[in-house]
Amino acid sequence: MAVKLTPYLNLEGNAREAIQFYEQAIGAKVLTIMTYGDMPDMPNTFTDDLKELVAHAKLQVGETELMFSDVPDGSPVEKGKQVTICISTNNVEKSKRIFDALQQEGTVNMPFEEQPFSPGFGDVTDKFGVTFQVNTEIQN
């Protein structure tokens, strides 16, 4: 797989509504939806409402993908972070190299490490203020 860039929309608890809207408006097709409740090792303190929020969703729109997530703690999405860019590869080492390069003079929001949905994932804001999610896709 070549490196792929995907817009990632961060929403304030209405990702499901947005997904339904984009299905109707632009013919998007849902590829995956994972809730916070679906993720292993989530804190027992999560309320049922929080467990139903979208942790990650991927939609196919023509030849492109669009990804979504609800902000988990109900806090507003920080201005400038409503849309981030997800960089995907199918190689953990390649993803880590990209993450390390982007973090130079930037800010690590989430360290690059294995996640329930990826063998290697991290979130970083580069020195220009652009936030990237660097993801290693699991190949089926």
Using a pLDDT cut of 90, give the percent of the chain over it: 60
Nearest to 76 by CA among 11, 8, 7: 11
Tally the domains of the chain. 1
For the chain, helix (H) and strand (E) counts, in that order, are 3, 8
Domain range for residue 28? 4-136
pTM: 0.75
Judge contact between 34 and 51, C-beta under 8 A: no
DSSP 3-state of 48: helix
Residue 81: CATH number of its domain: 3.10.180.10
pLDDT for residue 108: 98
Q: Mean pLDDT score of the chain, rounded to an integer?
A: 89
Scanning the structure block, which residue is given the tokens 């080492």?
A: 93
Structure-block tokens of residue 105: 């003079």
Distance CA 136, CA 91 (A): 6
DSSP 3-state of 107: strand
Above 70 in pLDDT, residue 115? yes
pLDDT for residue 66: 94
